[in-house]
Structure 1
């Protein structure tokens, strides 16, 4: 493999050319969960910028939430002989064979955003999702005056979301008069809209909805308004992308979002990979505490 490598990753419909020259022969391979979400667009752009400024080779592939594609992409990286694999798993447990195979090939593994389950990696870099979930619960408790019924839109195969939901439930322990009456999976915006409608129909006294991500929360806010419950139901999201922040600013149903920092995660991932290639020891956990965005 040549020292100078060009890679093209299509992110959000735009081609990002990831090219760099380096003294390392192989460099970094990154397998990202998707190319269709603003969080991962920003993360990939930050990785690209950091790799370019550091003159290190970086190849990015996007799994588009398809585990079989992600496994194939990692296999390709292994064959090419990369030094470090950066991966955001499509499935926290399903990705285990690929990570194990990479490690057996002598490749150091960094997980970003979504942790892997049942396997050790060199470092995990991502939002402190449990704390973010707790902050969402605190905001919900404040918005509901400490009492009411809430529903959760979930994505249970992704460990980062599992941690968010666990944090949310833990945070609600401070509000014994708030009851979780429904929890359903809604991975895409269309699915989240459908499950929101179902939960509102089955539980007409719902006062709040926590969406695991911005798409889920935005879909829930549409369902709330369609059901003419905008004076009753408050929605909280998680990610903090521009569309969600704008909704919080302008839509009274969306009362807040837990804000992640994908730029920081992307830069830190590449910086950590470089340290590994230089033989440095890196922290096994590098959590980034999220913020809380509410209306200005």
Structure 2
């Protein structure tokens, strides 16, 4: 090859590399200039308010000024529309908790089409991969809940199970964790189970119906605290003549207070605030082009009257 041609080609490649490098740098933003989009299933659900508060706390610490939060009001179609609107406003990252399973993959695909990293929080959408996933280790925590329940009840129970929303990734993981342990305890029988869509009023109605059909139920398990608190109310009005244990999951302030007051027997306290903080830190790392751990599962804590004061004082 002619030496001059070689040098010309070498210089052109070097120049092209500089231009590409400059383009990458131009796309990158300082942390305090990032616009964060956050889509929450419902601002009526205290758990997601706590996750949001963790995000806002971390945003303040990092100097991030723009965090757009949308409330899907438990409507998948509304959630898709809201995320489309946020993308049109030029968000740099998306923190996303899917509302149910219907159309849950659509927001991830929309964001990726625009090169916006997606961090899925708590509930994992179906048939699509997020750039990172932040959640509780629900499999392990639900298994520990089952072990504690077996110990407290002496290994014999007729159980009414208050499910969340069927098909949700959290519902599936908690079911697997619980069932794996209960399957090894012959005396623990699930005699009835119904979905509650994570709602307290539904928990009350479902538990009341279960008690009418089977007054010998002596354990209620709520896949989350809200339906568990509904079961507490149902047991109270039913005037049952035997001890009925009620177990929750989430560590919501209202559930922690119920444990302190002796109304709820146990819950699993998730690190809701830390989930939000972790999600935002991960989002910033992705926006800056850093490598992140794709699946980040946070431990949760068995909470009873013996240790509830610490969680009431400072929620994780």
| Contact 2:77–2:103, Cα closer than 8 Å, also in 1 | no
- Counterparts of residues 195-274 of structure 1 (less than 5 Å): 195-229=206-240, 231-252=242-263, 254-274=264-284
Q: TM-score normalized by structure 2?
A: 0.83
Q: CA deviation at 1:24?
A: 6.8
Gaps of 5+ in 1: 1-20
* Pairs aligned (count): 275
2:28 pairs with 1:49: no
Kindly provide the CA deviation profile for residues 94-135 of structure 1, in whole angstroms up to 9, marking residues without a partner as x: 211221121122111100111112111110001111112112
- Secondary structure of the corresponding residue to residue 265 of structure 2: strand
Kindly provide the CA deviation profile for residues 61-96 of structure 1, in whole angstroms up to 9, marking residues without a partner as x: 121211121111111122122221110111235211
Match of 1:186 in 2: 196
CA distance 1:230–1:42, change in 2 (3 Å) = farther
1:151 paired residue among 144, 160, 169: 160
Q: CA deviation at 1:197?
A: 0.6
Gaps of 5+ in 2: 1-28, 307-316
Match of 2:41 in 1: 33
Q: CA deviation at 1:233?
A: 1.2
The runs of at least 4 consecutive aligned structure 1 residues that moved more than 4 Å come to 21-26
2:104 pairs with 1:95: yes
Higher strand share: 1
Structure label with greater radius of gyration: 2
Q: What is the rounded CA distance, in whole Å, between the counterparts of 1:122 and 1:140 in structure 2? A: 36
| Contact 2:31–2:284, Cα closer than 8 Å, also in 1 | no
| Contact 2:31–2:62, Cα closer than 8 Å, also in 1 | no
- Secondary structure of the corresponding residue to residue 183 of structure 2: helix
Kindly provide the CA deviation profile for residues 172-204 of structure 1, in whole angstroms up to 9, marking residues without a partner as x: 123111111111011221111111011111112
Match of 1:168 in 2: 178
2:288 paired residue among 264, 278, 282: 278
- Secondary structure of the corresponding residue to residue 238 of structure 1: coil
Q: What is the rounded CA distance, in whole Å, between the counterparts of 2:272 and 2:101 in structure 1? A: 19
Match of 2:3 in 1: none
2:80 pairs with 1:75: no
Q: What is the rounded CA distance, in whole Å, between the counterparts of 1:230 and 1:158 in structure 2? A: 35
Q: TM-score normalized by structure 1?
A: 0.88
- Secondary structure of the corresponding residue to residue 239 of structure 1: coil
Q: How large is the Cα RMSD of the aligned pairs?
A: 1.7
Query: 139-148 or 255-264, which moves further after superposition?
Result: 139-148
Match of 1:120 in 2: 129
Q: What is the rounded CA distance, in whole Å, between the counterparts of 1:225 and 1:68 in structure 2? A: 38
Kindly provide the CA deviation profile for residues 118-170 of structure 1, in whole angstroms up to 9, marking residues without a partner as x: 11111000111111211221122112100121111112142112211221111
Higher helix share: 2
| Contact 1:22–1:55, Cα closer than 8 Å, also in 2 | no
1:60 paired residue among 60, 65, 69: 69
Query: 254-263 or 22-31, which moves further after superposition?
Result: 22-31
| Contact 2:218–2:242, Cα closer than 8 Å, also in 1 | no
Q: What is the rounded CA distance, in whole Å, between the counterparts of 2:167 and 2:182 in structure 1? A: 22
